[in-house]
Structure 1
Amino acid sequence: MAACNGDTTASSPTPTPTAQAAAADGRPFAVEEVARFAEPWAMTFLPDGRLLVTEKAGTLKLYDPERDTRGDIGGVPEVAYGGQGGFGDVVLHPRFADNGTVYVSYAEAGDGGAGAAVARATLTLDGSGGGALENVEVIWRQVPKVSGQGHYGHRIAFDRDGMLWITSGERQKFDPAQDMQANLGKIIRLNDDGSVPADNPFADRGGVAAQIWSLGHRNPLGIVFDDDGRLWAPEMGPKGGDELNLVEKGVNYGYPIVSDGEHYDGRPIPDHSTNPDYRTPVISWTPVISPAGFIIYDGGQFPEWQGNGFIGGLSSQSLVRIAFDGDSAREAERFDMGTRIREVEQGPDGAIWLLEDGSRGGEGRLMRLTPPGAGATDAGADA
């Protein structure tokens, strides 16, 4: 069983096999180590193929996989680093090519403790392989800030209409997930400037309730839309009961009133099946997988996997493949990666890219998965 939500147990990086060895070990892909970062948390590809990588202590890196070079992006907001808190997600605006706008999430200190925040900024790159975030503007905050260093959530996504979506963990405080005066334990929907859309399900209530799309979540660390516009979010359960949810407007997913897991002190929590007022997860995992980064694949390198989801597993040290059928889903396959997988992204080349979790300040590897024999090399392995 994962401790808490899978984020609290450190693991030492294990050697990555060469591409040839990985292809021979029964997995349907070769694994290439590309680079290493200090406690990386998230990544996103720029249109030119370079990567923005967040490091949890508060650094944003610009990495060029082709040249194996990296630089710093300045102007990052000050982060509250500790426990699960620190620098989180980085996502491009859907019209990034025109406006150069990026969105970042991070843990922020303030009155009462800490909470997640999301800021938008203009990314300006220089000619030396670095750059800066300029015109940084905080457009969303968790309310209220509370003590503790866990369950920030703060994953970011955009839908095809350009709406901004944010996962907000319940900060290990349980009850705020059901409290409409708090935006903890919720999935948030906003306009790209942080304002509230008039058609949000609770917009007429005003305040933070107006931001809420769905409630009763624990710690969602992935969020993605499929080709039909459905929103899917995996979240960490307590002791047992990790979930994959189909997220729908105004729906209550039940935590902490119901869960397919139990409290860590052994107190039971009624299962979802005991109360029809709360939505049952599409997939529930016990033992847990400790789900983190999440994509739905549409690339060309693995055509047999187009339309499948891939979830990074922390305590399970795995990459979990999800097969979808409309509103239903199932775990189709699980690949043992031998290490905690924090982030999953699809590269512009159609490869699947992973970030190894760098728990407690350790290094985490950037890895590239390609079909066996596709020509992967060990370039950058010593970075």
Structure 2
Amino acid sequence: MQEKLSQSHHQTVKKAALGGAFLMAMSAVGPGFLTQTATFTQSEKANFGFAILICILVDIIVQLNIWRIIVVAGKRAQLIANEVVPGLGYLLSALVALGGLFFNIGNVAGAGLGLNVLFGIPVIWGAILSAIFAIGILIVKNALKYVDWTVQILAIIAVLVLIYMLIVTKIPYEQAVSHTFAPTKIDFYSILTIVGGTVGGYISFAGGHRLLEGGAKGQADIKYVNLGALTGIGLASVIRVMLFLVGLAVVLTGTKLDPTNPAASIFKTAAGSFGLKFFGLLLFAAGMSSIIGSTFTSTSFLDYAVNDRSVRFRDYLTVGFIAFATIVFALVGQPAKVLVVVGALNGLILPIALAILLVAALKEPIMGVRYHHPIWLSITGWIVVLFMAFASLKTIFTLF
């Protein structure tokens, strides 16, 4: 009987690990992800490959640390933070939820614009339909199962769209590879921006909290941490590399991308009106998956104080979270200044959150007496903390 329970647990946690991988990856692949990649590909050309390479290495360090500590402790990040310093978890919750709340404005706008490109319906109505769809997925009974299915389908759509674009575009592979490993110029700002956009704010915790809610707990489930984190990083990285290669092929022809929508320019230039439709599909997939990822993770930071699940407090948070973003977009559009400030905030959340968890990893009452955090993860984790703290503070001082 115990063996059957063990097999059932492992199957459940394995599904949760893969669900967490797709949730994390597709949370990262939002409308901002598409715009950043297109913009930096135009300004840096093949040298942007080096920034992507550094981003992938930082992603691995951050996600393996955060997922591992959350799962071994068996608690959400904010509860761990409260055990490190009483009250610290409430600060972390506020930072993550606030960043996710305002970034959802861009996610809703992106999904609405995607439907506008595909079907010609007004962007605001596309945003409202996307919001309703996301709420339905997140509050339905057995929501985690439908969340997993949805983000996996959206990931498949994104990958297939980009594979098609690679096929119809002449890609300068040799130049891309050579500059990735031997860049002629390094742009510090681009590295900071894409790292923050891939593992900043709520994205850092999306997979770890999904794995925790799927039943993972303790050292026995560390192998699923590795499976989920590396799969998610791999998926997000593949999507970014494919978009970078298509964009590089376009900008090397001398094409100037439209600054208001540089990613759309890439698809239209490479494959005409048909390519633009494909961009609409990709933008809708990116926006929808990010709405779901942002809302799931941000609300997971806000409902831990409520023990009576019959109240369905998480569902009310979910509706309010998505409705707020949709209403703000409907009334004032996409407030660029707010999103820039929140972007800096999300970049600052990463070193704060990672530092808290690295401290927690050394505390026996939190992690257990038999757990020893790998030295290489601790050292590289603190290097990332220092790098991102310096970069984030420099960015904030520049803004103000």
Greater RCO (Cα-Cα under 8 Å, separation 6 or more): 2
TM, length-normalised to structure 2: 0.25
More helix by share: 2
More strand by share: 1
TM, length-normalised to structure 1: 0.25
Query: Which structure has the bigger radius of gyration?
Result: 2
